[in-house]
């Protein structure tokens, strides 16, 4: 965010700015650190200039820019946020630094003090009301200046100085010029005070140093020093903040008459600035993307707890650490040399032991997230207990007593709905696969949608890493398609077996290749978009690493499609994922439609052996068309197929409905004319297959006999093995509706039956069976031939069935109609107890409702 122009830039915009600087003529870049807070925030003054720039559409002449920038880096040390201020708005920049620091801290005293620090910067004008609202009641002011008169005790005495100032001056204001030292609880700055005296109207300006200290209730202490007493002011700053000596950075000589030394504590943000300096000095444009956070990083509630934990550990705020944890949180170290676990008290005690040593440092790097509440991070704890502790170390003492140490691990954290830690599990760094499995398992345990949509992608990765070809192939649907959009791409691969073979080629080139699954960028019931990293060793000994953003589409627990994008094209991947969202009106393939596809290919190829293999010995064929009316068995069906295929007849099937996996209703268009008169015909065809996918029944209907085909489809489904868990009353209710027999339907309904119609123009809620029957009676009156058919079943559970249905018929006044909707049918025992209806586009909402009802059943 550039506060001087009001323009906001994303990562790509920032990279474009830096690349433009590197490609400009005579570029210069200089920065001066002003202050840091925590491990991720830094404030610095910047200068950049160039003698010109030749752009693609226009040229830019010589330019120069100076400003103040606030930067924030992520756990990987990459820039995640930049805010730019005008060079004369140092007060705004410092206030924003404290505000952002407070945002990163957990609730507690440290956060309150940081917020008070932001409020204690009052801006140029002396607004008495604003000042009064930000100072502590017991504020103390000490004026060390030679002619100082601003000492005071208590808020009222302190405010009296400002009232007196207003009585003798006009437009009194202050402007911070330099930050000499800045701490979470205090800062010391060089300030210029100016105004116009009432007596004589002369303008005046004077400089001094001011030291502000703040607590949870606001500004608690102010000390003033003459400008030539920087050492005294900084010594007092160190005394009041009890800070160890910090690295001192020389400020730019033109700014002050005397070279002063500013207190700036190095942190991850200043390390980032040093890396940026190096990249610019080397004109290394390729290094720039590594310095800025990626759009596909997905922080979540768990990683946010990690941010607050780091801040609490930095200040040794153990109350804040405890506040981050749920009371029943459990922590576990699964490292090979540890294998210990404990509760919150155990974990905090362990952290306190480490924090008691010298130079303790806690570093984090976000590896990935799993949903909203699980994160996988790489953590590093380091410290030095000192020579005495190291000398006294024995085998019975903890590792912290063995001298300087570094403990590196992978850390899986999970938080509850309120954002409190419920679990933390540590793994050895080389045990990244176990850590990844733990993270995703915790997510899947409480998110059924993620388990169904992301789970198959994780299974595919695990199968590849285990070199388990059987599992890998089982994760893919037969009709699997891979579409690789990357420049050095695999292209389009059709067929699960073909793609499985391509992995064998990769393993020949890199036998130790592995895939690491990262964050999930988006997911829905039909699939997910994630981040992966494939890495390994090449035959010549070199290593490789290929990050990618795969779009994975899942149907019935198996992957049907993968499209792969480069990480920088994550927006295109997300857009493609949205475009691949299934049409709720599309009839998904099942075993019966796939058998029909094989039947079509066999006829077109005149592959009579394939046709024979496709037909079960008990196949029954029944052509119920008005002008045909024939029936027969397997031999008749095969002979008919040979006749049709031999004549070059072509089939164009369109799926109309399915019932379970083994029944399908299709509209079939037949065209031919090879060596004879061209012809075209159409019919409805109902196909049933057995467990091996062989055709056991084919029934043909006239194209206008959709009602007859629907009734047959329902009856066959009711008799199938797939429907054995559904009470017979459900099928009886559907038959009664299509027969318009309300008395028969009433027998199938429970006395406490409820209809809940969520559609925008639906019936709303009907709280009795009688009201529901009355609504159907009105429907039958308006459309005497109305038929209800199931297009496809989405889910079947012990408490009910979720399906997409269609009502169709002819209105009494004339005109055909149809209404497609999602329906939940709920049953208890042998009675239908409820129906809920949704718009087709609300299928995901209906699924969630169905799952909620399943948990309640």
Interval 806-840: pLDDT, tens: 999 999 888 899 999 999 999 998 899 999 999 99
Inform me whether the pLDDT recorded for 170 exceeds 90.
Answer: no
With beta carbons less than 8 A apart as the criterion, state whether 412 and 374 touch: yes
Looking at residue 292, the DSSP 8-state letter turns out to be: B
| Distance in angstroms (rounded) separating the CA atoms of residues 787 and 810 | 10
Coil, strand or helix: which one is 328?
strand
* Mean pLDDT, range 571-598, rounded to an integer: 91
768: which 2 tokens?
């009795």
Measured at the CA of 663, the angle between CA 657 and CA 664, to 5 degrees, comes to 35
Looking at residue 25, the DSSP 8-state letter turns out to be: B
Taking Cα atoms as reference points, which of 459, 292, 299, 450 lies closest to residue 377?
Answer: 299
Residue 373 has a pLDDT of 94
Assessment of whether the complete model's pTM goes beyond 0.75: no
Least confident range of 13-17, 189-193, 392-396, 643-647? 392-396
pLDDT in tens, 7-19: 776 666 676 777 7
Query: Which is more confident, 361 or 703?
Result: 703
What pairs with residue 261 in β-bridges?
250
User: Is the dihedral angle over the CA atoms 421, 423, 428, 430 positive or is it negative?
Assistant: negative
Structural domains of the chain sorted by starting position, each given as residue range(s) with its CATH number in brackets: 11-286 (3.10.450.50), 301-387+401-445 (3.10.450.50), 448-579 (3.10.450.50), 591-704 (3.10.450.50), 725-856 (3.10.450.50)
Task: Return the biggest CA–CA distance within the chain.
Answer: 119
Residue 295 has a pLDDT of 57
What pairs with residue 685 in β-bridges?
666, 700
With beta carbons less than 8 A apart as the criterion, state whether 373 and 306 touch: no
- 131 φ, ψ to 5°? -65, -45
Least confident range of 263-272, 609-618, 809-818? 263-272
pLDDT in tens, 652-677: 999 999 999 999 999 999 888 666 66
| Distance in angstroms (rounded) separating the CA atoms of residues 373 and 847 | 22
* Mean pLDDT, range 249-277, rounded to an integer: 65
9: which 2 tokens?
């830039």
- 511 φ, ψ to 5°? -60, -25
| Distance in angstroms (rounded) separating the CA atoms of residues 362 and 542 | 32
Residue 261 has a pLDDT of 59
Q: In sequence order, which residues have a C-beta less than 8 Å from that of residue 176 and are 6 or more positions away? A: 90, 91, 94, 121, 189, 190, 191
Residue 522 has a pLDDT of 92
With beta carbons less than 8 A apart as the criterion, state whether 121 and 109 touch: no
| Residue 53: CB atoms within 10 Å | 17
Inform me whether the pLDDT recorded for 243 exceeds 60.
Answer: no
Most confident of 72-81, 385-394, 484-493, 544-553: 544-553
| Distance in angstroms (rounded) separating the CA atoms of residues 81 and 10 | 9
764-779 residues labelled b (16+ CB within 10 A) or e (exposed): eebeebeebbeebeeb
What pairs with residue 581 in β-bridges?
none
| Distance in angstroms (rounded) separating the CA atoms of residues 19 and 692 | 61
User: Is the dihedral angle over the CA atoms 454, 455, 457, 458 positive or is it negative?
Assistant: positive
Residue 349 has a pLDDT of 92
* Mean pLDDT, range 606-613, rounded to an integer: 94
Q: How many CA atoms lie within 13 A of 717 on its CB side?
A: 29
Residue 57 has a pLDDT of 45
Residue 124 has a pLDDT of 74
Inform me whether the pLDDT recorded for 256 exceeds 70.
Answer: no
Q: In sequence order, which residues have a C-beta less than 8 Å from that of residue 133 and are 6 or more positions away? A: 119
623: which 2 tokens?
């052509």
User: Is the dihedral angle over the CA atoms 387, 388, 391, 392 positive or is it negative?
Assistant: negative
Distance of CA 255 to the CA centre of its chain: 46
Inform me whether the pLDDT recorded for 469 exceeds 70.
Answer: yes
With beta carbons less than 8 A apart as the criterion, state whether 761 and 782 touch: no
Q: Over pLDDT 90: what percentage of the chain?
A: 49
Residue 58 has a pLDDT of 44
Residue 389 has a pLDDT of 43
Helix 268-281 vs helix 11-23: angle between axes, to the nearest 10 degrees? 40
Taking Cα atoms as reference points, which of 773, 834, 775 lies closest to residue 799?
Answer: 834
Distance of CA 818 to the CA centre of its chain: 39
Q: How many CA atoms lie within 13 A of 840 on its CB side?
A: 14
Residue 745 has a pLDDT of 95
What is the per-residue DSSP string for 196-219?
A: EETTTT-EEEEEEEEEEEEETTEE
Alpha helices in 679-823 (DSSP H): 706-719, 728-738, 742-748, 769-782
Taking Cα atoms as reference points, which of 193, 197, 195, 196 lies closest to residue 206?
Answer: 193
Measured at the CA of 582, the angle between CA 577 and CA 584, to 5 degrees, comes to 150
* Mean pLDDT, range 30-55, rounded to an integer: 84
Alpha helices in 336-454 (DSSP H): 344-355, 387-391, 432-446, 448-453
Coil, strand or helix: which one is 220?
strand
Tokens 């943000």 -> residue: 269
* Mean pLDDT, range 389-398, rounded to an integer: 43
Which pLDDT band holds residue 39 (cuts at 50, 70, 90)? confident
With beta carbons less than 8 A apart as the criterion, state whether 512 and 458 touch: no
Distance of CA 24 to the CA centre of its chain: 38
With beta carbons less than 8 A apart as the criterion, state whether 790 and 803 touch: yes
| Distance in angstroms (rounded) separating the CA atoms of residues 680 and 489 | 43
Query: Which is more confident, 168 or 401?
Result: 168
| Distance in angstroms (rounded) separating the CA atoms of residues 85 and 5 | 9
> What value does the mean pLDDT of the chain take?
86
Alpha helices in 251-300 (DSSP H): 268-281
Residue 32, judged by CB atoms within 10 A of its CB (0-12, 13-18, 19+), counts as: middle
pLDDT in tens, 95-152: 999 999 988 888 888 888 888 888 888 877 778 888 888 899 999 999 999 988 889 9
74: which 2 tokens?
């992520």
User: Is the dihedral angle over the CA atoms 634, 640, 642, 645 positive or is it negative?
Assistant: negative
Helix 728-738 vs helix 706-719: angle between axes, to the nearest 10 degrees? 170
Residue 737 has a pLDDT of 94
| Distance in angstroms (rounded) separating the CA atoms of residues 85 and 176 | 14
Q: How many residues does the chain have?
A: 857
Inform me whether the pLDDT recorded for 782 exceeds 70.
Answer: yes
| Distance in angstroms (rounded) separating the CA atoms of residues 409 and 431 | 9
Query: Which is more confident, 447 or 389?
Result: 447
Give, in order, the Cα–Cα distances in Å from 698 to each of 6, 623, 667, 681, 694: 69, 8, 13, 17, 11
Most confident of 197-201, 360-364, 763-767: 763-767
pLDDT in tens, 474-525: 999 988 999 999 876 778 889 888 887 777 776 777 888 999 998 999 999 8
| Residue 398: CB atoms within 10 Å | 11
* Mean pLDDT, range 369-392, rounded to an integer: 74
658: which 2 tokens?
């399915």
| Distance in angstroms (rounded) separating the CA atoms of residues 604 and 220 | 89
Taking Cα atoms as reference points, which of 553, 551, 547 lies closest to residue 567?
Answer: 547
| Distance in angstroms (rounded) separating the CA atoms of residues 280 and 19 | 9
Tokens 């998904």 -> residue: 588
Give, in order, the Cα–Cα distances in Å from 389 to each of 361, 380, 401, 404: 18, 21, 6, 10
Q: Over pLDDT 70: what percentage of the chain?
A: 91
């Amino acid at each position: 965010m550039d506060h001087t122009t009001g323009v906001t830039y994303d990562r790509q915009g920032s990279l474009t700015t830096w690349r433009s600087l590197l490609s400009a003529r005579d570029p210069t870049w200089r920065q001066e650190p002003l202050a840091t807070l925590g491990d991720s925030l830094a404030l610095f003054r910047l200068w950049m200039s160039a003698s010109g720039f030749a752009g693609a559409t226009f040229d830019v002449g010589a330019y120069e820019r100076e400003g103040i920038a606030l930067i924030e880096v992520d756990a990987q040390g990459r820039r995640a946020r930049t805010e730019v201020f005008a060079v004369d708005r140092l007060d705004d920049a410092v206030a924003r630094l404290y505000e952002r620091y407070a945002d990163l801290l957990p609730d507690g005293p440290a956060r309150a003090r940081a917020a008070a620090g932001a409020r204690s910067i009052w801006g140029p004008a002396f607004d008495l009301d604003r000042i009064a609202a930000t100072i502590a009641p017991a504020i103390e002011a000490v004026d060390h200046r030679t002619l100082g008169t601003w000492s005071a005790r208590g808020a009222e005495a302190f405010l009296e100085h400002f009232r007196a100032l207003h009585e003798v001056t006009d437009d009194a204001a202050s402007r911070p010029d330099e930050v000499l030292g800045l701490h979470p609880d205090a800062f010391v700055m060089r300030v210029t005070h100016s105004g116009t005296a009432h007596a004589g109207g002369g303008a005046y300006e004077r400089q001094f140093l001011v030291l502000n200290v703040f607590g949870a209730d606001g500004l608690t202490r102010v000390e003033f020093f003459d400008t030539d007493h920087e050492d005294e002011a900084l010594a007092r700053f160190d005394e009041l903040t009890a800070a160890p000596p910090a690295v001192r950075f020389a400020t730019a000589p033109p700014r002050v008459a005397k070279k002063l030394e500013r207190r700036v504590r190095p942190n991850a943000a200043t390390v980032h600035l040093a890396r940026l300096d190096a990249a610019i000095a080397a004109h290394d444009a390729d290094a720039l993307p590594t310095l800025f956070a990626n759009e596909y990083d997905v922080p979540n509630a768990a990683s946010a707890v990690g941010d607050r934990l780091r801040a609490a550990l930095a200040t040794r705020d153990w109350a804040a650490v405890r506040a981050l944890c749920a009371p029943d949180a459990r922590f576990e170290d699964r490292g090979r040399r540890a294998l210990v676990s404990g509760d919150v008290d155990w974990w905090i005690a362990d952290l306190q032991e480490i924090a008691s040593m010298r130079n303790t440092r806690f570093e984090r790097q976000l590896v990935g997230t799993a949903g909203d509440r699980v994160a996988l991070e790489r953590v590093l704890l380091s410290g030095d207990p000192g020579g005495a502790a190291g000398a006294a170390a024995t085998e019975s003492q903890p590792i912290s007593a063995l001298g300087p140490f570094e403990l590196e691990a992978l850390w899986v954290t999970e938080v509850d709905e309120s954002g409190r830690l419920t679990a933390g599990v540590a793994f050895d760094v080389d045990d990244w696969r176990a850590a990844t499995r733990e993270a995703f398992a915790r997510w899947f345990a409480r998110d059924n949608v993620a388990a169904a949509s992301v789970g198959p992608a994780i299974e595919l990765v695990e199968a590849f890493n285990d070199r388990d070809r059987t599992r890998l192939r089982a994760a893919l649907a037969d009709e699997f398609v891979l579409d690789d959009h990357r420049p050095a791409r695999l292209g389009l691969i059709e067929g699960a077996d073909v793609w499985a073979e391509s992995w064998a080629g990769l393993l020949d080139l890199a036998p130790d290749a592995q895939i690491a699954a990262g964050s999930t960028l988006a997911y829905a019931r039909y699939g997910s978009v994630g981040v992966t990293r494939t890495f390994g060793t090449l035959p010549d000994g070199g290593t490789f690493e290929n990050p990618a953003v795969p779009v994975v589409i899942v149907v019935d627990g198996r992957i049907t499609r993968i499209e792969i994008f480069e990480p920088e094209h994550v927006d295109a991947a997300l857009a493609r994922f949205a475009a691949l969202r299934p049409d709720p009106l599309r009839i998904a393939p099942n075993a019966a439609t796939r058998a029909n596809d094989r039947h079509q290919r066999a006829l077109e190829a005149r592959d009579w052996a394939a046709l024979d293999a496709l037909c079960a010995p008990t196949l029954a064929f029944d052509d119920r068309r008005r002008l045909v009316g024939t029936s027969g068995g397997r031999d008749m069906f095969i002979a008919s197929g040979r006749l049709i295929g031999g004549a070059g007849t072509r089939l164009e099937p369109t799926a109309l409905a399915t019932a379970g996996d083994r029944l399908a209703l299709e509209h079939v268009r037949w065209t031919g004319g090879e060596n004879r008169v061209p012809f075209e015909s159409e019919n409805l065809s109902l196909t049933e297959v057995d467990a091996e996918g062989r055709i056991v029944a084919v029934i043909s209907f006239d194209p206008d006999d959709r009602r007859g085909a629907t009734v047959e489809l329902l009856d066959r489904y009711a008799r199938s093995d797939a429907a054995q868990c559904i009470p017979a009353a459900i099928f009886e209710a559907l038959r009664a509706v299509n027969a318009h027999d309300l008395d028969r339907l009433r027998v199938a309904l429970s006395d406490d039956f409820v209809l809940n119609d969520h559609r925008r123009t639906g019936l709303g809620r009907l709280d009795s069976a009688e009201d529901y029957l009355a609504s159907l009676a009105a429907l039958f009156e308006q459309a005497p031939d109305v038929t209800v058919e199931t297009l496809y079943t989405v889910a079947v559970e012990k408490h009910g069935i979720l399906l997409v249905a269609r009502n169709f018929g002819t209105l009494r006044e004339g005109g055909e109609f149809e209404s497609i909707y999602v329906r939940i049918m709920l049953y208890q025992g042998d009675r239908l107890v409820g129906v809920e209806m949704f718009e087709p586009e609300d299928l995901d909402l209906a699924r969630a409702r169905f799952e909620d009802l399943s948990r309640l059943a």
